[in-house]
Amino acid sequence: MKKILIIPSWYPTEKDHSHGIFFENEAIVLSSIYDVKVYLPPKRKNWRMLLSQTAVLDSNNYSRNGVSIYQERDVIIPPRLPQNFVDKYYYAFLRRYFKRLINKWGRPDLVHAYASLDAGYIAMGLGKFFGIPTVIKEVSGPFATLLESKESRKKVREILSSTKKIIAVSPSMKNEILNFDKNLSIDIVGCVARSEWFSDAGRAVPNTSKNTIKFLTVGRLTKSKGIIYLIAASYFLKQKGFKNFRLKIEGIGPESAFLKQMVNALGMSNICNFLGFISRNELMKEFNNCDVFILPSLGETFGVVTLEAMACGKPVISTKCGGPEFVVTPETGILVPPADSEGLANAMEGFMTGKYKFEPTKIRESVKSRFGENAFLENISRVYEEVWSSN
């Protein structure tokens, strides 16, 4: 069985399952046909972080959702070390750590990194030093945020030109990368909708309260997720006299307090309900119990939560913010402009008045055929085989 080492730029934890959940989903599915290990590389920490006990001081091998994870201890950067020596110091430790991983687990047949910075850069350095082919799946969006300085542009160009294969998570992501370097060859492989969402437990639950439409949104509560526009849209509907709807908001983040204050100030507490952080099992129940899922983001490289909602047979209202145009089709949902509360309100009204009707079975089948586990494994394995055949 081929060994695939996954190096993610970030990864979900028990405290926050939403941050990098698509990395974990792919690792779980890949482990069905490959020997997979997720490698959480060491972070650079200074002496103050060591004293405040925020540094990871020992390596840790553990399992999460059936995937083997190896977390490496952090590298403590000595004080007053010249900047031009910091990278050399860090990578000397990184190579030493990586040799230890190889001795314990074996030599990977391929290193699959998620996001150029910083996982892609680490994978590139290790791949060159140990002669292991690398693949990078770019998920950072907007991609332009990686190019804000001369140093980062140089680093990203080096990463993308050195890797064996570049994978974009959506056509919009591919176009963003090509705008940076039109000579790159890029494959498109979307995120995976895991089979658990298509199981009987994930089947659409009929709404027994026909008088109330239940909307749901899920994500980190940050400005980029556009929740403020969704709350404003709900307020517009209330002002028009609509009372037959509820909105649940799942997630945590820096905008939590502000959004709750906004809801209270608008007198929307009886309509908008903040769920906070909930477990994956609880989240599946919320997907099942809603009537319509809403993604009001200002920018998404893909939008994996839309897959999970559609796998449960739920129609989607999403903004045209990049990735969702690849995911949401006319038979699965409605697309509206980003940062457009009126557009969101009109789409929500369409569901409440019966203007929009979708067939749950068709929604589920659309997702399964394009992004189900078999489709994902076929697409990603083709990329891997091309890498191995070219060596």
Asked if pLDDT for residue 385 goes beyond 90, the answer is yes
Q: Do 144 and 265 reside in the same domain of the chain?
A: no
Q: Do 165 and 290 reside in the same domain of the chain?
A: no
Asked if pLDDT for residue 290 goes beyond 80, the answer is yes
- 65-84: burial string, b at 16+ Cβ within 10 Å, e else: eebbbbbbbbbbbeeeeeee
Asked if pLDDT for residue 19 goes beyond 60, the answer is yes
Q: Do 14 and 123 reside in the same domain of the chain?
A: yes
Asked if pLDDT for residue 82 goes beyond 80, the answer is yes
Q: Do 112 and 212 reside in the same domain of the chain?
A: no
Q: In the prediction, which pLDDT does 172 show?
A: 94
Q: Do 248 and 332 reside in the same domain of the chain?
A: yes
Q: Which position has the higher pLDDT, 359 or 53?
A: 359
What's the whole-number mean pLDDT along residues 33-37? 98
Q: Do 178 and 225 reside in the same domain of the chain?
A: no
* Per-chain mean pLDDT for the chain: 91
Q: In the prediction, which pLDDT does 51 show?
A: 60
* Band (201; pLDDT cuts 50, 70, 90): very low
Q: Do 218 and 107 reside in the same domain of the chain?
A: no
Q: Do 96 and 225 reside in the same domain of the chain?
A: no
Report the predicted TM-score, pTM, of the whole model to 2 decimal places: 0.89
Q: Do 168 and 314 reside in the same domain of the chain?
A: no
Q: In the prediction, which pLDDT does 84 show?
A: 80
What's the whole-number mean pLDDT along residues 237-260? 96
Asked if pLDDT for residue 77 goes beyond 90, the answer is no
Q: Do 170 and 202 reside in the same domain of the chain?
A: no
Asked if pLDDT for residue 293 goes beyond 50, the answer is yes
Share of the chain above pLDDT 70, in %: 94
| Greatest mean pLDDT range, 44-58, 77-91, 180-194 | 180-194
> How many domains does one find in the chain?
2
Q: In the prediction, which pLDDT does 60 show?
A: 87
Tell me: the pLDDT tens digits for 40-50? Answer: 999 888 777 66
Tell me: the pLDDT tens digits for 99-147? Answer: 999 999 999 999 999 999 889 999 999 999 999 999 999 988 788 888 8
Domain span at residue 149 reads: 3-192+372-390
What's the whole-number mean pLDDT along residues 65-76? 91
What CATH number does the domain containing 260 carry? 3.40.50.2000
Q: Do 123 and 208 reside in the same domain of the chain?
A: no
Q: In the prediction, which pLDDT does 87 show?
A: 86
What's the whole-number mean pLDDT along residues 248-261? 96
Q: Do 276 and 377 reside in the same domain of the chain?
A: no
